[in-house]
Structure formats: structure tokens, C-alpha cells
Amino acid sequence: MPAEKRIDLKVAERLFTAGQTVKQMAEFFGVSRQAVYSSLTNAGLYTPKSCRPQSPRKWIDLEARAAADEEQLERHREAERVKGDARRKTAKAIASGKLIPQPCEVCGESPRLANGQFGIHAHHDDYRKPLDVRWLCFRHHRQWHKEHPVPYYSDALDYKDAGTPGSKRM
């Protein structure tokens, strides 16, 4: 069983304050760089950059950004909840026969999948109206979303698209 290699902290401190790099110290002691980092950190001689104190101005900026991110995230969660509710209500209405899939509004096709299900998508212009949908085939639904991207953290409840009645669709 080989002898365990140890780092002499007094020597390590002298080398570190003299400007030796962690790589050079690791080679000197015959250990990994991670072992040198760990030893220096545990002895309080080295602080990782991410843990070093920052100026108060940076902390204020970070706190403001965190608060804004939290607000944005909360809006996103609420929008996703409303979208999920709309999708569930639409699926339930289709299953009960209250909502019947129609051919694609663009090409007029009504594709069927191999398992017998409709290959048509119910597109919601407003998720607060779950049964008010436009029927689009997969190709045209994808095309519509490419032409009308929704920012990831936008408030989907306030999102209005170009597909309202009387406007030009695709």
C-alpha cells in the first residue's frame, strides 16, 4: 500500500504567498491540483473567486436582479398553469364530444395518425378561452409558431397574436 502524500501547510503557505501557482505546488507535493485547492481552502489561505466578498454595489445589483428574476419566474409559472388548464379543458371537451376536431384552417387537410387519433392541433390564441381554438395541422402549427415566437418568460396571458378574427392569418 503506497504512502499517503500529504501537503505541508507551512510550506504551501510560503509557496502560495511567493506567487507559485496551484499547478506548480501540486507538482512539488506530488498531489492533484484539487488536493492543493482543498488544503489551501481548508486552511483559510485561499478563497474561491465565487466566494470572495463583492462591493456593496454589486450586492445591490444582484439583489435587484434576483427580485426581478423571481417576479418574472412567478409570472411564467402562472402563465404555464393557465396554459395547462386550457390544454386539459380542451382535451376533456374533445373526449366528451363538445369540441370536434376540424380540418386544418390553412390547407384543409385532416390528417390521422397511425394509431387512429387526429393529427390536427388545437391552437389557442388566448389561453383564458380554452374552447376557442383554431385547428391547424402539425406543419402549419409549427409554421405559425416560427412566424410568431413567444418569448420564454413572457406573460402568456397578455400575449396577443396575429390570428384574431378579421386579421390576416399566415
Residue at 147: amino acid letter: E
One digit per residue, the tens of pLDDT, for the chain of length 170 reads 455 678 888 888 888 888 888 888 889 889 988 888 888 888 877 776 655 555 555 555 666 777 777 888 888 888 888 888 999 999 999 999 999 888 999 988 887 777 777 778 899 888 888 899 999 988 898 898 888 876 544 444 554 444 443 333 33
Q: Which of 128, 126, 123 is nearest to 170 (CA)?
A: 123
Angstrom distance (rounded) from CA 38 to CA 140: 56
Stated pTM of the model: 0.49
